[in-house]
Structure 1
Amino acid sequence: MEQAFNMFEQAVNFANDLLWQEILIGLLIIAGLYFSVTSKFVQFRWLKIMFSSLGEKRAKMPDGSKGISSFQAFTISAAQRIGTANIAGVATAIVVGGPGAVFWMWVVALLGAGTAFFEATLAQVYKVRDKESGFRGGPAYYMTKGLNQKGIGYIFAVLMTITFGIVFVMLQSNTIANAYDEAFGVNTAVSGIVVAIVVAIVIFGGAKSIANVATAIVPVMAALYLILVTVILVMNYDMIFPMLQKIVVNAFGIEEVFGGAVGAAIINGFQRGLLSNEAGMGSAPNAAASAAVRHPVQQGLIQSLGVYFDTTIVCTATAIVILMYTDLSFGADAPQGIAVTQAAMDQQFFGFGGTIIAVFILLFAFSTILGNYFYAQSNLSFIVDNKTVTFVFRAIVVIMTAVGAVLGVQLVWTLADLFMAFLAIINLMMVVALSPLVFELMRDYKEQKDRGESPIFFAKNISYKLPDDNEWGDDDYRMDDPEDYNK
């Protein structure tokens, strides 16, 4: 049994290294540059519009109820991004790839902001009505409805279901278990069972209970975490510039080049950056599609701004705190993940920082498990909408929550990287194929903005042919006030 498990781990490592080193890093750069150049760097050029779009009026859902506003959509997506990837993932990137890995996370964010704009905009265009939550959509929908690639759409939906319903769920429970083992000495198996029981109670309660729990927990904890990190940075303000300098020097230093550390920094920076901001992976579009906005571009701008907030602010602040830790060690054999962040926080808060982080991680990772389940369930419904299948799938999610807690940290992160690679490779190619549609939508949005109007999209306003059942006809979309059509 042990030999078989070792062979499995070796196979996962081999496949992961192959996909990332030979395919995905290059694809992320090329696709990111393509989206940036062809859109004339929309992620920088429309930065002012991104902020102004936060004040856009809210639209109505299909049932006539008020949808969430642009600002609410931003705060929810931003809060969801603050979690395991920002707290434990940044630590893993630094330990394995060195401080220079943070620089490459910045690169992923700058390019990824453009990618996020394209994929979120497409998700809005091809969204469909959902009886329970208003709208749903994502890559599987724009692959099938936009490119008529049903086979690829179903393959992607299967991968999304496995990745978010099994692999990422294991990653979150593993982080919770290790955090409580580090802080309180709680057995990882015990933590896994407890978390699995609570997850079962919530997900068998349906999507509404998921939304209620996640909405209540995440924004408050995200704000508290940012306050905590800000306090540390203010207390150590004289260390901020030296740490930033260390990040840049380590990314390009002569010693790192000859020691092979630059390669490790690039790989780990890209891996943790992708997991953190999700730009290009195809996960964020599932959430983007559920928002009620008056123009697809509006949601693209919101998601693009979220990438900046996540990586350039939250991840950077966390990285500086970790780099201040005087006992930090590097290399594949060094302590990784949440234990490193806890140790760094302990040093700043007189031995109590690790306990504080354990509480944060419990709530962040738990809410992320619920969010992951939502993504997985949405894609499972795309494949087959059957109550029995849904029940079995929920049971599998609960079981894998418990299993993930007892697996090795490195194996769980490698599995996450591997499945991220599968998703990103497929999604990026499909988004590139649909990019001409986004260019038309940008033109339509900007023309209305230039006329001083609040942009509203109708399918008839562009030459690109959308499916007959699109949600952007004259009678499909409603605002709070019909007068808005004339403003």
Structure 2
Amino acid sequence: MNTLIYFVGQVNDLLWNTLLIFLLCGVGIYYTIALGFVQLRYFKSGCRCLFGNISLFGKRADKKGMSSFQAVTTAIAGQVGTGNLAGPATAILAGGPGAIFWMWVSSFLGMATIYAEAILGQKFRTTDKEGQVVGGPAWYIENGLHCKWLAVIFAVLVILALGFIGNMVQSNSIASAFHGSLHIPLWVCGLILAALTGFVIIGGIGSIASFAEKIVPIKAVFYLLGTLFILIYNYQYIIPAFKAIFIAAFNPQAVLGGGVGIAIQEAMRFGIARGLFSNEAGMGSTPHAHALAKVERQEEQGFIAMMGVFVVAVIVTLTALAIITSGLSMWDHSGRKVASFMSVYSGMQGIELTQMAYNYVYGWFGSLFISFALLFFAFSTIIGWYYYGEINIRYLFGSKKAVRIYQAIVIVFIFCASLFKVDLVWSMADMFNGLMVLPNLIALIILSPIVIRLTRALKSVSENKNEISS
């Protein structure tokens, strides 16, 4: 067991602390330049696509796909999970406030990457033997790269990383949160969570899309309002918080003091790594949802996919500001002569730091608020990740029987994972998440001419329309 733990730790260190940071950022920079800063040029179009199609009761998804809004909410359901509550805290603890600036950088680059993923998902989508529209990296790897074996490897990794191990992590997070705040027995949490999951997923794409289009806007508003109240309470520390972020991104010691020992490289490494993990751009997960969107032009789903990353960035930013402003306020009122406000974070880990910010303003209700936020975030992630696994089960086996078996295993895993916390399972989730990125990035690089060609064609159409109107 110790050998396995050591091996998984070494793989994760190589993947998330070195390899994937350079690869994902490199692909993001490449697409940003090659597409002429698509995230800026078409940001307005993305906003129009997102907010112009909001509907909590859209037409039920069927074998032909789902609406564009249902697709992006299904994608965001997977993107906005526990990592958006614990991610900013982890980045701040490891890299200081400056890490948040580098999370913004990774989000900006990720918008171009996820645009390309959505385009390829739409381009290479198809129908399976049952007439169900399907798509995602496995399809554009097989039909675009003509590399079946690599597509199979990707499909297996997605099922393991998201459908099984990833959802075990989410289930454990929910059970632990409610056990800690309300003292609900772990087995009760697991049973309720497994039952709710079964209720949603048994109805297939129709119930999953309907769930996503309702729960994602609700959880976003719920969390944003709660976080905005903290910022209003700490309003006088908002500008100092932004100053701390920007200054610490390039000169950490100017904000944190010489004794803290955080360097620019650490701020960059932890900020970019947590940002990439939070928005999932380039990981190959969200194209499964965007491929099923019913849109007139493939580029439209690329625009709305970019907005998914933007929404994640907003949530991450507000969480970070809540943490930093609360830390500044606690330091300011403590009367202690400390080197920096990082001292108030001493000994905390991840989600504990987020809870600190909410407890400081809300008191005992802060932990309860985070527990319910975690429920919304993690449960929607379970549904989104389950669905990504289901699509790849369809790719590998192409039968409804295989999907039913997969559903049963997922439900059992969700219940069992709530009963205990095994650090190895969490580490393995990170490892498989990292490994599934590699086949997807290969496809994104080799198939980039297709994305560039489609985007340039869109630009030409837009210019012709402007000439005619003028």
Partner Cα distance (1:100, 1:132) in 2 = 50
Decide whether the 8 Å contact of 2:96 with 2:267 is kept in 1. Answer: yes
Amino acid at match of 1:29: C
Cα offset, 1:42, TM superposition: 1.4
**Residue in 1 that maps onto 2:376:** 363
Partner Cα distance (2:202, 2:8) in 1 = 32
Cα offset, 1:192, TM superposition: 3.0
Partner Cα distance (2:62, 2:208) in 1 = 20
**Residue in 1 that maps onto 2:276:** 274
**Residue in 2 that maps onto 1:398:** 411
| Per-residue CA distance 1:193-230 (angstroms, 9 max, x = gap) | 43234323443443433333333333212212112112
Cα offset, 1:263, TM superposition: 4.1
Partner Cα distance (1:231, 1:56) in 2 = 27
- Unmatched segments (≥5 aa) in structure 2: 331-340
Cα offset, 1:336, TM superposition: 2.6
Cα offset, 1:367, TM superposition: 1.9
Amino acid at match of 1:420: N
Does 1:442 find its partner at 2:444? no
**Residue in 2 that maps onto 1:285:** 287
**Residue in 2 that maps onto 1:127:** 125
**Residue in 2 that maps onto 1:306:** 308
Of the structure 1 ranges 177-186 and 78-87, higher mean CA displacement relative to structure 2 is found in 78-87
Q: Which of 341, 349, 356 pairs up with 2:362?
A: 349
| Per-residue CA distance 1:340-370 (angstroms, 9 max, x = gap) | 3223212111321211221121122112111
**Residue in 2 that maps onto 1:431:** 444
Q: Give the 3 Å change call, closer, same or farther, for CA 406–55 of structure 1 in structure 2.
A: closer
Cα offset, 1:430, TM superposition: 1.0
Aligned identity (percent) is 39
Decide whether the 8 Å contact of 2:70 with 2:213 is kept in 1. Answer: no
Partner Cα distance (1:321, 1:124) in 2 = 38
Aligned positions, number: 447
Of the structure 1 ranges 442-451 and 145-154, higher mean CA displacement relative to structure 2 is found in 442-451
Partner Cα distance (2:154, 2:323) in 1 = 36
**Residue in 2 that maps onto 1:416:** 429
Decide whether the 8 Å contact of 2:75 with 2:384 is kept in 1. Answer: no
Amino acid at match of 1:102: I
Q: Which of 94, 109, 112 pairs up with 1:96?
A: 94
Amino acid at match of 2:3: M
Decide whether the 8 Å contact of 1:61 with 1:292 is kept in 2. Answer: no
SS in 1 for 2:398: coil
Decide whether the 8 Å contact of 1:94 with 1:330 is kept in 2. Answer: no
Decide whether the 8 Å contact of 1:95 with 1:331 is kept in 2. Answer: no
Amino acid at match of 1:280: G
Q: Which of 28, 32, 35 pairs up with 1:36?
A: 32
**Residue in 1 that maps onto 2:115:** 117
**Residue in 2 that maps onto 1:216:** 214
Of the structure 1 ranges 45-54 and 143-152, higher mean CA displacement relative to structure 2 is found in 45-54
Partner Cα distance (1:303, 1:113) in 2 = 8
**Residue in 1 that maps onto 2:147:** 149
**Residue in 2 that maps onto 1:316:** 317
SS in 2 for 1:393: helix
Q: Pairwise CA RMSD of aligned residues?
A: 3.2
**Residue in 1 that maps onto 2:336:** none
Cα offset, 1:166, TM superposition: 1.3
Instruction: Give the structure with the larger helix fraction.
Output: 2
Cα offset, 1:247, TM superposition: 2.2
Decide whether the 8 Å contact of 2:77 with 2:384 is kept in 1. Answer: no
Partner Cα distance (1:185, 1:304) in 2 = 40
Partner Cα distance (2:395, 2:344) in 1 = 42
Amino acid at match of 1:276: S
TM-score, normalised relative to structure 1: 0.82
| Per-residue CA distance 1:405-447 (angstroms, 9 max, x = gap) | 3554865543333222212222112111001011111122222
Decide whether the 8 Å contact of 1:82 with 1:364 is kept in 2. Answer: yes
Amino acid at match of 1:248: F
Partner Cα distance (1:67, 1:300) in 2 = 15
**Residue in 2 that maps onto 1:106:** 104
Q: Give the 3 Å change call, closer, same or farther, for CA 405–262 of structure 1 in structure 2.
A: farther
TM-score, normalised relative to structure 2: 0.85
Partner Cα distance (1:394, 1:63) in 2 = 19
Decide whether the 8 Å contact of 2:71 with 2:292 is kept in 1. Answer: no
Amino acid at match of 2:376: L
| Per-residue CA distance 1:145-200 (angstroms, 9 max, x = gap) | 11111111111111111111112202211221221133123344543343234323
Amino acid at match of 2:324: L
Cα offset, 1:314, TM superposition: 1.2
**Residue in 2 that maps onto 1:248:** 246
Amino acid at match of 2:398: D
